[in-house]
Amino acid sequence: MFPGDELKRDATLTFLTKRVPGLHAGGKTALAWWGVRHNLPVREQLCLWGDRPNKLPDWFLSRFPARYASRHLFRAKLPWQFALSHLPETPDGPLVAEPERALLEMLSDVGISQGVEEARQIMEGLRSIREDVMATLMKQCQRIKVTRLCVQWAEELQLPWAHAVRTMTKNRTGKSRWSARLKDGTTLTLKP
């Protein structure tokens, strides 16, 4: 960068993908970039995902507030680039999780860095998904919280694809309730 230049978000993210394995815009950020959002924040914090723990450079964070997650949401046999693509308007831009993957990443963040109500409201806006992509992701998802949240909320919100998601996870979510205390002190309980 030369004096007086201003860094552009997409170009900077593309640059970082060469240094951070598997880096992509994911979760709530990816859903917003695909047009699925609930609120419009004044200055949105980027949700970035990668394959392994990493620290984003200070020069990047000072210009683009961001969170980085490297939770292993899917089994290793799922190719790392599955359901990642470039936005149609930025074919040379950064990789972005497609809506199905971004939904599961956002659900993984619930109770950690993502509020329960906002996540539910965002999910309500996902009226259509590609069932074949979601089936692959749900079969490879190794987080019970994520699969149960997806199924339970899809049914409660009466999303058109709720039955398909229930069928995809049949016999995979266990037989007992799952509970966890969230950072805000509330308890999240999910049925099997």
User: How many CB atoms are located within 10 Å of the residue 33 CB?
Assistant: 20
Distances (CA, A) of 158 to 22, 31, 152: 33, 20, 10
User: How many CB atoms are located within 10 Å of the residue 47 CB?
Assistant: 25
At 56-67, the pLDDT tens digits run 999 999 999 999
Specify the DSSP class assigned to residue 160. Answer: T
At 174-191, the pLDDT tens digits run 566 666 666 776 766 666
Q: Is 46 left (phi over 0), alpha (psi -120 to 50) or beta?
A: beta
What span, in angstroms and rounded, lies between the C-alpha atoms of 33 and 76?
26
Show me where the domains of the chain are located.
9-190
At 134-155, the pLDDT tens digits run 999 999 999 988 999 999 999 9
Provide the token pair at 79. Answer: 């190719």
pTM for the model stands at 0.89
- Checking DSSP bridges between strand 96-97 and strand 84-85, what pairing results, if any? antiparallel
